[in-house]
């Protein structure tokens, strides 16, 4: 069975460095808010050429705290997409704001700037574009739109560590940007983790308060916050992996290129000329997606769907009032997309096997 994902190869590749990092923390006797976190925050900020990085417990908290740090809450609207992990919308609601869901671009699957513009109301306070599958959203159009209407931009970079738009790293266009370090991410911890980056020192100061119960000094609380800390072990692990991120992203692009050249009978991911895709996921399309998925399973190839039910069609979010059919590009994509195996450690032979199997299933020619 060729699994959809496999975290063992990259852990094996970095085993000595990871063991050294974890041992360093275990013998230090300092496990929260210590020197490893400070070092990772400095290194992650430097990687993005921003002034501040704030480690938090997970990517969902990162979005919630970014919104709260920016003063967005009850009565405010945040424009985002329905084609994303539910965590994006969970975080908006956790901050007290109302998510406004808009349609996506049919090629990149990221926020359609024209759809975002049409959704702006006097209550709109921020745009929350999601850089999905490793591809950047159109930050040229979205930042221009935000400037036109005096909106904040908060980038959800959970699936796009190291991706670029027009040569610039995602996460550096908006006022704040959020990251998840869930183990499967391009930069993944060995557990949960997240971060917010910004060059605004006032946001940085408030985020550091909010992640520790609104605390200014020990047991003194200036506001209501939450408990959301990136622990020392995860920070040490992320320091190791951050040093290899660009190399690992290059390997993903090489695998994607092999997929592009070998697959027939399906729509392969669009590589926007202004973006540097990092292929967190390799997502194809086919009108008989469910049948193709079952056929691949029968041929011992693992796949997943990211995401089969858009947020506005989820029972839990029916009260958002977004009618079926109102986001047609999102709904069409959700019925046709399929994620193929993509991870560091996947081999070109594995890619050839997948492409050959797809070709055989669909009656095309193999590579």
Quickly list H helices, the chain.
8-13, 15-28, 35-48, 59-69, 87-94, 113-118, 139-149, 201-210, 232-242, 245-262, 289-298, 328-336, 348-362
Write a three-state SS string for 194-211.
EEEEECCHHHHHHHHHHC
Q: Where is 100: in which H helix or E strand?
A: strand 98-102
Question: What is the rounded CA–CA span in Å between residue 178 and residue 136?
Answer: 14
The reported pLDDT for the residue numbered 267 is 98
Domain assignments of the chain as residue spans, ordered by start: 8-101+110-242, 245-362
Q: pLDDT tens digits, the chain, 367 residues: what are they?
A: 999 999 999 999 999 999 999 999 999 999 999 999 999 999 999 999 999 999 999 999 999 999 999 999 999 999 999 999 999 999 999 999 999 999 999 999 999 999 999 999 999 999 999 999 999 999 999 999 999 999 999 999 999 999 999 999 999 999 999 999 999 999 999 999 999 999 999 999 999 999 999 999 999 999 999 999 999 999 999 999 999 999 999 999 999 999 999 999 999 999 999 999 999 999 999 999 999 999 999 999 999 999 999 999 999 999 999 999 999 999 999 999 999 999 999 999 999 999 999 999 998 544 4
Q: Which fold has domain 245-362?
A: 3.90.1150
Among all chains, which residue has been given the structure tokens 């359609």? 112
Tell me the C-alpha to C-alpha distance, in Å, between residue 242 and each of 8, 42, 43, 45, 230. 17, 12, 8, 11, 15
Distance spanning both ends of the chain, measured CA to CA: 20
Q: 76: number of CA atoms within 13 Å, CB side?
A: 22
Phi/psi at 214 (nearest 5 deg)?
75, 25
What is residue 83's predicted lDDT score, i.e. its pLDDT?
98
Q: Which two tokens stand for residue 351?
A: 């890619």
Q: If 0-12 CB within 10 Å is exposed, 13-18 middle and 19+ buried, where does residue 24 land?
A: middle
Neighbours of 319 (CB within 10 A): 7
pLDDT of 115 reads 98
**245-362 and 8-101+110-242 share a CATH fold:** no
In the CATH scheme, what is the code of domain 8-101+110-242? Answer: 3.40.640.10
pLDDT at 187: 98
Q: Pick from 187, 365, 177: which is nearest to 278 by CA?
A: 187
Tell me the HSE value of 146 on the side-chain side, using a 13 A CA sphere: 22
Asked if 130 contacts 88 with a C-beta cutoff of 8 angstroms, the reply is yes
């Amino acid at each position: 069975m060729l699994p959809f994902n496999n975290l063992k190869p990259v852990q094996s590749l970095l085993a000595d460095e990871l063991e050294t990092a974890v041992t360093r923390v275990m013998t230090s006797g300092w496990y929260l808010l210590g020197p490893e976190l400070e070092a990772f925050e400095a290194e992650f900020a430097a990687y993005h050429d921003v002034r501040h990085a704030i480690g938090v417990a997970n990517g969902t908290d990162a979005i919630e705290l970014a919104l709260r740090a920016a003063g967005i809450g009850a009565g405010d609207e945040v424009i985002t997409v329905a084609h994303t992990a539910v965590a994006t919308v969970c975080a908006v609601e956790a901050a007290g704001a109302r998510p406004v869901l808009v349609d996506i671009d049919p090629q990149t699957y990221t926020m359609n700037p024209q759809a975002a513009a049409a959704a702006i109301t006097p209550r709109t306070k921020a745009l929350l574009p999601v850089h999905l599958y490793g591809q950047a959203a159109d930050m040229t159009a979205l930042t221009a739109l935000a400037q036109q209407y005096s909106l904040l931009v908060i980038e959800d970079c959970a699936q796009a560590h190291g991706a670029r738009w027009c040569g610039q790293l995602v996460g550096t266009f908006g006022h704040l940007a959020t990251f998840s370090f869930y183990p499967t991410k391009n930069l993944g911890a060995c557990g949960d983790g997240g971060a917010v980056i910004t060059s605004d020192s006032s946001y940085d100061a408030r985020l550091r308060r909010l992640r520790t119960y609104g605390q200014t000094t020990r047991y003194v609380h200036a506001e209501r916050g939450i408990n959301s800390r990136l622990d020392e072990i995860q920070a040490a692990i992320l320091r190791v992996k951050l040093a290899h991120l660009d190399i690992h992203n290059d390997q993903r692009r090489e695998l994607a290129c092999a997929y592009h050249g070998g697959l027939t009978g399906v729509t392969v991911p669009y590589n926007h000329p202004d973006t540097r895709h990092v292929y967190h996921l390799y997502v194809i399309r086919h009108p008989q997606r469910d049948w193709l998925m079952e056929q691949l399973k029968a041929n011992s190839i693992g796949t997943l769907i990211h995401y089969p039910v858009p947020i506005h069609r989820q029972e839990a979010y029916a009260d958002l009032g977004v009618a079926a059919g109102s986001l047609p590009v999102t709904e069409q994509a959700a019925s046709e997309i399929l994620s193929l195996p993509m991870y560091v450690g996947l081999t070109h032979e594995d890619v050839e096997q997948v492409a050959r199997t797809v070709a055989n299933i669909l009656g095309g020619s193999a590579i």
